[in-house]
Structure 1
């Protein structure tokens, strides 16, 4: 059964114990790869904790559920749209829709079920946050097509994956949008950096089938390019903190996340097929460090 588990699953032994249909649906929604919903959830935490209203654990619980459900829905949609391309790439050829183990009709039904879970979360938010959340759907719907028309689909992914920053913030307050804009831009640069690392796994296959990515666009300069985007992320986060709280101590809270990103770049080994995936997954810790910085800055003196 393990031959029907996708190669980059984080929980191969666990997922392989499931009957075939539940296993395929779990893989289709990427439940076996939690890094995706962590990366979608952390920007929600940034917005909530920077807002300065304390831990807000109940709100974060709803947003975590929403991140899991909507990341799953986005992945199902992506696999429906990309089924033909996925069949031509070694890492994605065994995905449930690409391999035809799950029909597109069933995939659409699973997508609707996940969206209903997301709707439950949406209804817990106040109206302005609901409007902000719904505004992301246009970006989400367009994302799978970006790799066909631009060398920078990672930038579009950055806009999508960090929308939770705006949702979390607007649930609690509606001011300091200049600071929030700087933080959002920094998060986009962060996503371009880490998703370029992820795309390193598929450069050869992507080039053969015509899929575009920042990893291909930067070519031999990819490691320096990732470093540049990570540096831009930290600089924009620092600007956002300064606009929100003009205090050097606030900016210094970014030192741990800056060091983590520096470690990623300095230890990136493109000759080791497992290294880029491990460095990409380490961004769950980068997100945690950034969330801690937001909590300190947002709640200092509260």
Structure 2
């Protein structure tokens, strides 16, 4: 791995101005790294837009964003509690609040409860069926931190978790499931596997030393081709979803910008360069926005 390692916890922006104690909690929830909540938010926003609810249910998008910030934070706190010993042995994560001693495990548990209560407030804004769908994701969330210990593909499990909002958003707007929702979800899962494989490139050396598994390690020298394959499946799934909503070739044209962006990621990815991998990973916020605009056009046409 070439290039400097970017620490997982970064003291920047408003977070850097907080008192040391409060800064630890902000870092624990990754408030300094908003890319995570954007990636969690986009699948739900896509579903709302593609199902035709982006305008009429604009407040739902706002609630989904609040929920994404809170629950991504809660998930990070939970993950850090479970992984505190492993994090202390990886260069990129050793500065996280728990392994560095900035926040105690007991305080982290209290913070986890507080963030989860915010998520509960968001849950209460949903109709009963959508709320049940949202709660069904909790088992997947609880098991995720352990996947890197038992499978070479923890990124696939993360895909199931981070894409769940697509099902919640669709059910909330459409009142039920359908092939369009399933295809949108499947495409999102493949997208998450692709971008999280890119993210995992930063840790391949440390992961190999401590025995942590990842799709980046599993793919090895074929990682660029593997990411390209997952992105191709993602675009294919989204194309099926679009066709179900609007069976018109023009609807598929709306996917060209996001498809081109994902292609750019693959073409310019340098697997041995950690900084390059992090930049390509973060660019998926733009990919999510491009797909949201496509869903908005097709869903409101």
Please indicate the TM-score interval, normalised by the length of the shorter structure. over 0.9
Query: Distance between the aligned counterparts of 1:158 and 1:195, measured in 2?
Result: 9
Q: Deviations over 1:28-75 (max 9, x none)?
A: 000000000000001110111111134222111111100000000000
Query: Distance between the aligned counterparts of 1:103 and 1:186, measured in 2?
Result: 38
Query: Distance between the aligned counterparts of 1:41 and 1:118, measured in 2?
Result: 13
In structure 1, stretches of 5+ residues that fail to align are 1-5
Query: Distance between the aligned counterparts of 1:230 and 1:186, measured in 2?
Result: 8
Q: Is the 8 A contact 2:9 2:96 kept in 1?
A: no
Shift of 1:176: 5.5
TM-score, reference length from structure 2? 0.95
Aligned twin of 1:20: 20
Matching of residues 94-173 of structure 1 within 5 Å: 94-173=95-174
Shift of 1:175: 4.3
- Judging changes above 3 Å, is the alpha-carbon distance between structure 1 residues 11 and 262 closer, same or farther for their aligned structure 2 residues? farther
Aligned twin of 2:7: 7
Aligned twin of 2:47: 47
Matching of residues 33-112 of structure 1 within 5 Å: 33-55=33-55, 56-112=57-113
Shift of 1:9: 4.8
Aligned twin of 1:235: 236
Aligned twin of 1:3: none
1:190 aligns with 2:179: no
Shift of 1:10: 6.2
Specify the SS of the correspondent of 2:274: coil
Query: Distance between the aligned counterparts of 1:176 and 1:15, measured in 2?
Result: 40
1:32 aligns with 2:32: yes
Q: Is the 8 A contact 1:179 1:240 kept in 2?
A: yes
Matching of residues 215-254 of structure 1 within 5 Å: 215-254=216-255
In structure 2, stretches of 5+ residues that fail to align are 1-5
Shift of 1:13: 5.0
Query: Distance between the aligned counterparts of 2:10 and 2:168, measured in 1?
Result: 29
Q: How many residues align?
A: 295
Q: Is 176-185 or 116-125 further displaced after alignment?
A: 176-185
Aligned twin of 2:3: none
Q: Is the 8 A contact 1:11 1:33 kept in 2?
A: no
Query: Distance between the aligned counterparts of 1:51 and 1:15, measured in 2?
Result: 36
- Judging changes above 3 Å, is the alpha-carbon distance between structure 1 residues 176 and 101 closer, same or farther for their aligned structure 2 residues? closer
Query: Distance between the aligned counterparts of 1:19 and 1:176, measured in 2?
Result: 46
Query: Distance between the aligned counterparts of 2:267 and 2:254, measured in 1?
Result: 21
Q: Is the 8 A contact 2:39 2:162 kept in 1?
A: yes
TM-score, reference length from structure 1? 0.95
- Judging changes above 3 Å, is the alpha-carbon distance between structure 1 residues 13 and 297 closer, same or farther for their aligned structure 2 residues? closer
Query: Distance between the aligned counterparts of 2:252 and 2:10, measured in 1?
Result: 34
